A and B are shown apart, each in its own frame.
Chain A
Amino acid sequence: MRLILLALLVLTFSTHAEEDLSAKAWLKNMSQALRDKQFKVSIIQLQADHIRPLLYVHGIVDNQEIALLEYLNGPPKNAVRVGNRVTFIEHDQTPYSVTAPRIQGVWPAALAGDISQLEKGYQFVIGGRSRIAGRPGQMIRLLANDENRYDAQVWIDMDTFLPLRFDTLNKEKQLLEQTMVVELIELSEPANILIQAAKQDWPAVMNQAERSDGKNWQFTWLPQGFDVVVRDHHRLIGIHEPVEYIALTDGLANISVYVARSGENPMPNELLTRNGLSMVVVQVGNLEVVAIGKVPAETLEKIANSLVLK
């Protein structure tokens, strides 16, 4: 009897402790879990009217993070991460590696990164609880501090702290994109496939020598929290037009800004896709400034208009 009482007491205390976690603590635990835990998740990604099923396996082999992402539908497409190197293996393409701390395309990299980095652009608010993939999940809202970016919400598994669902919402609270776990299996040992992956000889990281430094473009205005990550000069895919390139990020949203000579044909001033990706083109003399990213088009327009050459 005493044991049962004790167990009850411990239980109430532990649930109490969980409730006491701040929204930020939840997110920090999630970030930690994404890096430390060994697990296998089946995920579906919803974008506008199409669904993409994914399999993601993560583990630690020889103190190194190994992860595998597999696209389950359509032509085979995989990405393997060993430490800080991500190799993309696609059916019609020679595999190539890039240096990256996460495989892009599952959860936003920021979820496994430094959570305080997100605080400049978002407020963290504890939401309700719901059951996802058969597990209780705690919802944390990432409320945009301003109108310049979209809101997001993440459901965190109350047991493992791994993310169960991630939604991006527009200003009307309509769902733009959703990444949802349908099955989560925590593993005590690295999955066999990850051990194999760790032994595998992967292509060397791509030589990015052809990226020359870009000109000193500056922004007179940027939304709070957005920083310049990369600036360079390269040629566009496919049409091989030279562009000046600047990458901005606030942790969650990534924006690309291009400066190029205007083509002979006018470009649309604005283009919106239903998954939240927007594109804005501003003509400056015989140059066009193109801004692309998953933020409201108005933000892109303001950013494009604030670009100056110093």
Chain B
Amino acid sequence: MLKSSQEWVSAAVDGEADDKTLAKLSADVDSHAQWQRYHMIGDTMRGELPEAIDLDFSANIMAAIELEPTIIAPKAQQAEPEQIAPAAKTSNVVPFFKQFGQYAIAATVAMVAIVGVQSYNQTNDAESPLPVLTTRPLVGTVSPVSYQTGSVQNQQNYSNEQVIEQRRRINAYIQDHMLQQRLNPGVVIDENSNQDAAVNQ
């Protein structure tokens, strides 16, 4: 790195270089670090330093540019606010719909999926008479639930398959219960219309 090139960099930082020199400079990767330092020095002298100095900003910018998608054409004008997206999404959906019966809905209603049943029947902990098993809501977090088998049928030695089968049945019931909440609000409709009638009087 020669003195002369340092001068170029310095001149470029001060905005005194012509386009040609700039093009040359930008091809010279070695002088980029200098460019950065000179700018920093200039900023310091003018008291324009940010509170936190990001020393590798050129690299950051390069990374950011790489992440940015290439824009080939200007974006089409957004005639509608993006909020309506959920509504718009469904417009082509109606024809498909009828083939699906009530229980095709099933999967999405699931809120609680039991992932682990640990039966602690042998524990004699008086403080927690209900043993703990783990359920995982579909959303992804885990919350413990307690679980109890009666003393009458005190089978602790479930085989793996039995446990899986048991969970499947428990899940099926809980999912169906959740689904029914959506399907059976029937009685409330009548109440509403009654009340509306009462209000009108």
- Cβ-defined contact, A192 with B84, below 8 A: yes
**Given A208-B183, A229-B186: A279 in contact with B173 (beta carbons within 8 A):** yes
- Cβ-defined contact, A102 with B188, below 8 A: yes
Interface residues of A (CB under 8 A from B): 31, 47-50, 52, 68, 70, 73-74, 76-78, 80, 84, 86-90, 92-96, 98-102, 104, 109-110, 112-114, 117, 192-193, 196-197, 200-204, 206-208, 210-211, 227, 229-230, 234-239, 241, 243, 245, 247, 249, 254, 256, 258, 263-275, 277, 279, 290, 292-293
Interface residues of B (CB under 8 A from A): 80-81, 83-84, 86-91, 93-94, 96-98, 100-109, 112, 117, 130, 133, 135, 137, 139-150, 153, 155, 158, 162, 165-166, 168-177, 179-189, 191-192, 194-195
- Give the distance in Å from the alpha carbon of A193 to the alpha carbon of B89 in the complex: 13
Partner of A208, one of B102, B153, B185: B102
| Chain A binding surface, main DSSP class | mixed
CB proximity of B54 to chain A, nearest CB, Å: 31
Which B residues touch A76, using CB under 8 A?
86
CB proximity of B94 to chain A, nearest CB, Å: 5
| A97: nearest chain-B partner, CB-CB | B97
Partner of B84, one of A110, A193, A236, A256: A193
Partner of B173, one of A84, A196, A229, A290: A290
- Cβ-defined contact, A204 with B145, below 8 A: no
- Cβ-defined contact, B175 with A271, below 8 A: no
**Given A196-B84, A203-B93: A90 in contact with B108 (beta carbons within 8 A):** yes
Which B residues touch A197, using CB under 8 A?
84, 87
| Chain B binding surface, main DSSP class | helix
- Cβ-defined contact, B195 with A113, below 8 A: yes
- Cβ-defined contact, B149 with A269, below 8 A: yes
- Give the distance in Å from the alpha carbon of A182 to the alpha carbon of B182 in the complex: 25
- Cβ-defined contact, A237 with B179, below 8 A: yes
Which B residues touch A200, using CB under 8 A?
87, 90-91
- Cβ-defined contact, A196 with B87, below 8 A: yes
Which B residues touch A77, using CB under 8 A?
108
- Give the distance in Å from the alpha carbon of A48 to the alpha carbon of B111 in the complex: 13
CB proximity of A310 to chain B, nearest CB, Å: 22
Which A residues touch B145, using CB under 8 A?
271-274
Q: A49-B142, A90-B108, A265-B158 are in contact. List 12 more A-B contacts (CB 8 A).
A: A89-B89, A92-B108, A94-B93, A94-B97, A98-B182, A113-B192, A202-B94, A204-B98, A208-B183, A238-B106, A245-B176, A293-B177
- Cβ-defined contact, A271 with B147, below 8 A: yes
- Cβ-defined contact, A237 with B176, below 8 A: yes
- Give the distance in Å from the alpha carbon of A48 to the alpha carbon of B139 in the complex: 13
A-B contact pairs, 9 of them (CB 8 A): A84-B189, A94-B100, A99-B186, A193-B81, A204-B98, A210-B102, A256-B177, A273-B145, A274-B143
Which A residues touch B158, using CB under 8 A?
265
CB proximity of A132 to chain B, nearest CB, Å: 24
- Give the distance in Å from the alpha carbon of A225 to the alpha carbon of B30 in the complex: 82
Which B residues touch A275, using CB under 8 A?
143
Which A residues touch B83, using CB under 8 A?
192-193
- Cβ-defined contact, B103 with A268, below 8 A: no
- Cβ-defined contact, B188 with A263, below 8 A: no
